[in-house]
Structure 1
Amino acid sequence: MTRNILFIMFDQLRWDYLSCYGHPHLHTPHIDRLAARGVRFDRAYIQSPICGSSRMSTYTGRYVHSHGATGNGIPLKVGEITLGDHLRKAGMGCWLVGKTHMRADAEGMARLGLEPDSLIGARVAECGFDVFERDDGMFPEGPDGAYDPDGAKTYNEWLRDKGYDTDNPWHDFANSGLDAEGNVLSGWFLKNSPEAANIAEEDSETPYLTGRGIEFMQQAEGPWCCHLSYIKPHWPYIVPEPYASMYGPEHVLPVVRSDAERQNAHPVLKGFMDTKIGQTFSRQDVREAVIPAYMGLIKQADDQMGRLFAWLEETGRDKDTVIVLTSDHGDFLGDHWMGEKTFFHDTSTRVPLIIYDPSPEADATRGTVCDALVESIDLAPTFVEIAGGAVADHILEGESLMPILRGERAETRRDYVICEYDYSASPLAKLLNVSVRDAVMFMIADKRWKLIHCEGGFRPLLFDLENDPQELVDLGESAAHAEVIAQMYDKLFQWARRPSQRTTRSEAQLIGMRGKSGRRGIVLGVYDENDTAPELTVKYRGRSAKPWQEIVRPKG
């Protein structure tokens, strides 16, 4: 059966803010129903706790260490093979509706003469996708201009056509409230998070992108992969009614942190705690303003999933479409004295992942929960296998999840997951007086332990995930855990030694090359012509030639 892939990604959606993952107040029945029809993965991890580099790992199937796009604004270099490249080779189109946070390698494209308006150039500039609509969903403006001049470009034009007529309706309506005097209450200011966004709910960002996703599928000719990539519940934290009033401080879960955690914090972790974001989200009044809005954004997203899934069922597309739902990272929301996502607690690095496969081969696993260690880089090889292609495992560093979806395996082959973060361009690197080379961190975790290594001569951090699942007690200085730390470093070193840059020859090709040079005239270590197979030296035996003196005439 030919299948399509609907690849849904939310931005900054915590894994534990869905009812199927255990949230007690935030009920998400439509996403829960998808989980009941598919497999819910309970230990899915991203490869970097920030939008851009996390997504580049998902779109390439490669670790950050391999693809090199280490942060927001760091281009994915020309030559990196993407999901779209793999899928088109297998005969499947690969289309974008929404966000990628991709920054094109303009210098590399110019060096190779790739014009951005050519077919190949456009794909290279758009992370391998053909674009139905790109909407990175951010059009903030400051004294030095816009953060992203093309952000929310089509959406802003659409809003103006509907009468939301300002120079930036993305901000003034979709992401701000309004007071009784008509003053815009900017969603950038967290005190305004409880306000209702001044926009008709059906015109806000999440319903808009749902509609665009449906429009794509209505006209698409398969097989196709549609990356429906939502902007929310990423900040600005503000949502229109009826969602703005659905939750209040009484629905805000107790914060996960301790005084000892902060007092004994590792220097790098303390740096993140002491940022403006960390200090702000450490305040309970901020959490009580922001989290109800964050929950409202998720509730709206779930309702839009209900709209989307109903359309799929009404049109029969659910019978031939694999649905994958995940997030690019989480959100601390004040846990561990931090906001945002740029550290390695599960709050940030663990994400929801649900896969529904309509094929009969997946019937045995419907409604199950998988405890395997899974990484976001596993999606690319999974999609290639769905498309019927051969997985290029010398390029793709993840592994296909199809054996798990079909009930053939319960675990992946790996025994650890990896996450990386490069903070060299952040103010924290200056605050810690860390060089660009040393402003990098690595997380390696298995089901029991999580080790965090920080370059720059810092000690490691260690968390016991079994006895301290909230990751409040750092055991990095514990002499009793020295052996565990050494074992985790051995795993990290093993990972670092992988030949990840050897992407031009497959394993089968390398095996086939063994000994081939001898059949092309290379004779090494042979003392006598009879010491090797005669067929290998046939060009070097039984030959005759004249002395050079008879050929070269004396000069003069």
Structure 2
Amino acid sequence: MPRTVRNILFIMFDQLRWDYLSCTGHPHLQTPHLDRLASKGLRFTNAYVQSPICGSSRMSFYTGRYVQSHGAQRNNFPLKVGELTLGDHLREVGMDAFLVGKTHMEADAKGLERLGIAPDSLIGARVSECGFDVVVRDDGLWTEGPDGAYDPRPSPYNEYLAAKGYNSRNGWTEHANAVTLEDGEITSGWFMKYIDRPANVAEEDSETPWLTSRAIDFLTEPGRDDHRWLCHLSYIKPHWPYVVPAPYNTMYGPGQVLPPVRSDDEKRDPHPVFDAYMQTLVARSFSRQEVREKAIPSYMGLIKQADDQMGRLFAELERAGRMEDTMIVVTSDHGDYLGDHWLGEKNFFHDCSVKIPLIIYDPRPEADFTRGQTCDALVEAIDLAATFIEAAGGEIPSHIVEGRTLNGLLHGKSSENWRNVVISEMDYSTTPIAERVGVTHRDARLFMAFDGRWKLVHAEGGMPPMFFDLQSDPEELIDLGRDPAYESERARLYEHLHAWARRLSQRTAISDRELDAMSGKFLRRGILLGLFDGSEVPQENLSTIPARPGNNV
């Protein structure tokens, strides 16, 4: 039995594409610190999120459950008050769970009120913060508009900037995500016309170094080694706005922008939902080469800055001796289209959106066999919860956590009985897409089933599927969803999707072991239904029946 890990450092970048690291094959981006971690650990080449949306994807990471199970199907959808999270599971085995950065979690305020749980109590705070004890929470969008602030909570990052002497009402808007024009005017970093200019903030005060510093403060706090911990270090970048401080804004240029993966054929009779997404403002913007030549070098600069901060963080771990007992995981909550398939943002199921980087460094000797290798098994985001629980010394509650542990793969064990299909979901009910397509809230849902070669995208509302063969069409340019020649393959994946929909996912209050203990016990507790004269069962089960004259018992 492998020994347990003492600590877990769970690092997540927001909107980091799987293929924008040098260790995953990008020809221009150099990410030596993440590459070094991959050389010491195992890199998974087929890792997929449960939803290509920040909030719903993250809730699956934190609960180990599919989106359909936890119900937080889109950003700002509350996570039900009864859902168990990583913090709940890990505390049972003596490991604390802390947050440094983003969760995009919306608390179930009505549920807390119904149960009489005060949000500022210990339990209320943990339920409101997705099970974590908060070191600092920053979801990264401190923007404002005519109807007010996107996030009405106080901004810890703005407080930091103010303490550093940035004289502004909203430092996120006026400094970290703003640029200076030639005439000295400050303008918004939302305007992609200007994002090749440096952010109006010192590099060391920008968001990624700021969160790294908060993580180092956490690691070096006196008494930190007194208790085992999981630290979820959750970065805001390289999520938009695509603004990066000097010198990272000039490290890449149009010459390092890869050609877009797209085809004019994708616009000919497209799937209705895909067509609607191609009509969005962000999609039309990223379809312009001049936008890609501005945005993508900045996106690459944000990733390069992130890798440099990983070097700083890993050096601190090595100095403190924590590399010897800390499992380190690096991943992302989803990708970014960047103009591929005529789209921007995420929100759909091509690999550039739904596939993620995943590197796991396991310090245990059992992982020596796989160091520096890659694993092609189909992995889901929900697998991390199961992996962490087991690595911490717990028993995975399979009636709650739907993911599979990756510890066996990390330790070189066979993946013969591994899953053969991954599932992802998306709810677009609150978007203009639903109205454009003409579906109700209940029908504004998409499901992906992918077996490593064939990818099925099912749309509710009576629409046809999309279907791709990634063996002959690895760039996912040819939709075979309405081609009769592929009906049998589509039917096969639909059967997988139907089997997944029939899974037992809501019986979370009682485990299989408890069911086993209950099975067949009623007879021994006086429930004698169906007996004719008592001879059908062992006599000891009838020992409490009163004996009267004439009673043969």
Q: Tell me if TM exceeds 0.5.
A: yes
Report the Cα offset of residue 159 of structure 1.
Answer: 0.5
| Structure-2 residue corresponding to 1:167 | 169
Alignment of 1:273-312 (within 5 A): 273-312=278-317
Measured in 2, the distance between the counterparts of 1:192 and 1:47 equals: 34
Report the Cα offset of residue 512 of structure 1.
Answer: 2.6
Report the Cα offset of residue 544 of structure 1.
Answer: 7.5
| Structure-1 residue corresponding to 2:208 | 206
User: Which piece of structure 1 moves more, 510-519 or 2-11?
Assistant: 510-519
Distance 1:330 1:544, change over 3 A: farther
* Cα deviation digits, residues 246-282 of structure 1 (max 9, x gap): 1111100010000011113111111111111111111
Q: Judge conservation of contact 1:372–1:412 (CA < 8 Å) in 2.
A: no
Q: Judge conservation of contact 2:69–2:505 (CA < 8 Å) in 1.
A: yes
| Structure-1 residue corresponding to 2:80 | 77
| Structure-2 residue corresponding to 1:13 | 16
Q: Pick one of 88, 91, 95 that aligns with 2:94.
A: 91
Distance 1:511 1:197, change over 3 A: same
Measured in 2, the distance between the counterparts of 1:425 and 1:537 equals: 61
| Structure-2 residue corresponding to 1:370 | 375
| Structure-1 residue corresponding to 2:360 | 355
Q: Secondary structure at the match of 1:382?
A: helix
Measured in 2, the distance between the counterparts of 1:541 and 1:445 equals: 63
Measured in 1, the distance between the counterparts of 2:466 and 2:34 equals: 35
| Structure-2 residue corresponding to 1:487 | 492
Report the Cα offset of residue 532 of structure 1.
Answer: 2.3
Measured in 1, the distance between the counterparts of 2:238 and 2:246 equals: 15
* Cα deviation digits, residues 304-353 of structure 1 (max 9, x gap): 00111111112211111110000000000110010010001111000000
Partner amino acid, structure 2, of 1:44: A
Distance 1:543 1:277, change over 3 A: farther
Partner amino acid, structure 2, of 1:269: F
Measured in 2, the distance between the counterparts of 1:411 and 1:242 equals: 47
Partner amino acid, structure 1, of 2:109: A
Distance 1:543 1:4, change over 3 A: farther
Report the Cα offset of residue 543 of structure 1.
Answer: 4.7
* Cα deviation digits, residues 57-115 of structure 1 (max 9, x gap): 00000000000000001000100000000000111000000000011000000000110
| Structure-2 residue corresponding to 1:549 | none
Q: Judge conservation of contact 1:404–1:411 (CA < 8 Å) in 2.
A: no
Consecutive unaligned residues of structure 1, counting only runs of 5 or more, are 546-556
Report the Cα offset of residue 539 of structure 1.
Answer: 2.9
Q: Secondary structure at the match of 1:393?
A: coil
Q: Secondary structure at the match of 1:232?
A: coil
Partner amino acid, structure 2, of 1:196: P
Q: Secondary structure at the match of 2:535?
A: helix
Q: Pick one of 419, 425, 430 that aligns with 2:435.
A: 430
Report the Cα offset of residue 469 of structure 1.
Answer: 1.0
Measured in 2, the distance between the counterparts of 1:200 and 1:141 equals: 22
Partner amino acid, structure 2, of 1:350: K
| Structure-1 residue corresponding to 2:47 | 44
Measured in 2, the distance between the counterparts of 1:503 and 1:482 equals: 37
* Cα deviation digits, residues 19-51 of structure 1 (max 9, x gap): 100000011011000000000000000000110
Alignment of 1:216-231 (within 5 A): 216-219=218-221, 220-221=224-225, 222-231=227-236
| Structure-2 residue corresponding to 1:537 | 542
| Structure-1 residue corresponding to 2:125 | 122
User: Is 1:462 aligned to 2:467, yes or no?
Assistant: yes
Measured in 2, the distance between the counterparts of 1:102 and 1:457 equals: 32
Measured in 2, the distance between the counterparts of 1:28 and 1:176 equals: 26
Distance 1:466 1:425, change over 3 A: same
Partner amino acid, structure 2, of 1:417: V
Partner amino acid, structure 1, of 2:102: K
Report the Cα offset of residue 181 of structure 1.
Answer: 3.0
Q: Judge conservation of contact 1:51–1:328 (CA < 8 Å) in 2.
A: yes
Q: Judge conservation of contact 1:370–1:410 (CA < 8 Å) in 2.
A: no
Report the Cα offset of residue 412 of structure 1.
Answer: 6.3
Q: Judge conservation of contact 1:371–1:411 (CA < 8 Å) in 2.
A: no
Measured in 2, the distance between the counterparts of 1:80 and 1:460 equals: 32
Q: Judge conservation of contact 1:92–1:224 (CA < 8 Å) in 2.
A: yes
Measured in 2, the distance between the counterparts of 1:287 and 1:203 equals: 26
User: Which piece of structure 1 moves more, 92-101 or 478-487?
Assistant: 478-487
Report the Cα offset of residue 531 of structure 1.
Answer: 2.1
Report the Cα offset of residue 9 of structure 1.
Answer: 0.1
User: Is 1:58 aligned to 2:77, yes or no?
Assistant: no
Q: Judge conservation of contact 2:51–2:57 (CA < 8 Å) in 1.
A: yes
Report the Cα offset of residue 487 of structure 1.
Answer: 0.6
Measured in 1, the distance between the counterparts of 2:302 and 2:193 equals: 17
Partner amino acid, structure 2, of 1:198: N
Measured in 1, the distance between the counterparts of 2:540 and 2:352 equals: 64
Q: Secondary structure at the match of 1:87?
A: helix
Alignment of 1:120-519 (within 5 A): 120-150=123-153, 153-219=155-221, 220-221=224-225, 222-410=227-415, 413-519=418-524
Q: Judge conservation of contact 2:9–2:329 (CA < 8 Å) in 1.
A: yes
Partner amino acid, structure 1, of 2:182: A
Distance 1:544 1:383, change over 3 A: farther
